[in-house]
Amino acid sequence: MTTVTLPTVPPPPESRTGALPLPGRYTVAPGRSLVELTAWYGPLPVRRRRVSLAGASLEVSPEAEHPEFRFEFDGRELRAALTTERVEEAAGRLQLTADLDIDDVAFPVLLRLRVVDHTDDRLLVVGTARLPYRLLHRATGFRLPWRLPATRLRLLVAAEFA
């Protein structure tokens, strides 16, 4: 029997795994985001409006356990800030456990983001959060016009952090 030595292929250069960019602070440039608030009554969407994104930031720190996302909404329909408490990564998706601060009252939100594209210095995400309207109204005082019935709200967020 003969022993054959096969050439070894060097492993690829050290590459990052995961859906987040390298440690640092990232923001969203004006015009590189989309935020939409949709009111649903049962299975029917009854109102869909764009909301202005006043600011958004992502801070990835090697010391911190979780990165910190912050979205600030400034529109007629919604004036609030969404700040993450915990971020979980799984298969190109990020699941953010966050607080939606409306008039200094924090309402818990689960925002599921799909990572569309990411590099070492850029992250493009699209995601939604479903909010029960009655609970949100009771907890924070957030209110839609009286003539607009709603059972839940959907917050759609698309942003490019660079």
Average pLDDT over residues 112-141: 94
In the chain, the percentage of residues whose pLDDT exceeds 90 is 70
> CA-based Rg of the chain, rounded to a whole angstrom?
20
Q: Chain-wide mean pLDDT for the chain?
A: 89
DSSP at 17: -
Q: What's the CA angle centered on 101, arms 96 and 107, to 5 degrees?
A: 65
80 with 101: CB under 8 angstroms? Answer: yes
Q: Distance between alpha carbon 134 and the CA centroid of its chain, in Å? A: 23
Global confidence as pTM: 0.83
pLDDT at 92 over 90: no
Please report the pLDDT score of residue 15 as a whole number: 45
d(CA 140, CA 101): 8
Given pLDDT bands bounded at 50, 70 and 90, which one contains residue 14?
very low
pLDDT digits (tens, 9 = 90+) for 28-59: 998 899 999 999 999 999 999 999 999 999 99
Give per-residue burial for 65-96: e unless 16+ CB within 10 Å, then b: eebbbebbbeeebbbbbbbbeebeeeeeebeb
Give the H or E element holding residue 84.
Answer: strand 79-90
